[in-house]
Amino acid sequence: MKYPSPYLTVVVIGLLFSLASSASHTHDHEHFLQCLQLQNSTSISEVVYTPSNSSYSSILHFSIQNHRFLSKTTPKPLVIVTPLHASHVQATIICSQLHGLQIRTRSGGHDFEGVSYISQLPFVIIDLINYRNIEVDAETRTAWVQAGATIVFRVERTLEQNATILIMKWQNVASKLHEDLAIRLELTTKAKFEALFLGGKDKLIPLMQERFPELGLVKEDCTEMSWIESTVYMVGSSSKSLQVLLQRTPSLPQSYKGKSDFLKHPIPESGLEGIWQLFKENGDKFAFMELFPYGGIMDQIPQSKLPFPHRSGNLCLVGYLDSWDQHGRDEVAQKQIKWITRIYSYMEPFASNSPRAAYLNYRDLDIGVNNIGYTSYEQASLWGLKYFKNNFNRLANVKTKMKFCSCENRVAEKFRGEEMQDNSYLDEFMEGTHSFYKNKRNKAKSNTQVPEDN
Which of the residues are catalytic?
Answer: 362
In sequence order, the 6+-apart residues with CB closer than 8 A to the CB of 429 are 25, 98, 415
Give CA 23 to chain center in angstroms: 27
DSSP tag of 84? S
Start-to-end CA span in the chain (Å): 34
Partners of 185 in beta bridges? 193, 291
Round to whole Å and give the CA distance between 208 and 200: 12
Round to whole Å and give the CA distance between 130 and 136: 18
Round to whole Å and give the CA distance between 73 and 95: 26
- How many CB atoms are located within 10 Å of the residue 406 CB? 14
Q: Among 90, 88, 92, 128, which Cα is nearest to 109's?
A: 128
Q: Among 95, 60, 96, 20, which Cα is nearest to 370's?
A: 20
Contact indicator for 360, 306 with CB cutoff of 8 Å: no
User: What angle do the packed helices 163-173 and 269-282 form, to 10 degrees?
Assistant: 120
Round to whole Å and give the CA distance between 379 and 392: 12
Check whether the bond before 355 is cis (ω within 30° of 0). yes
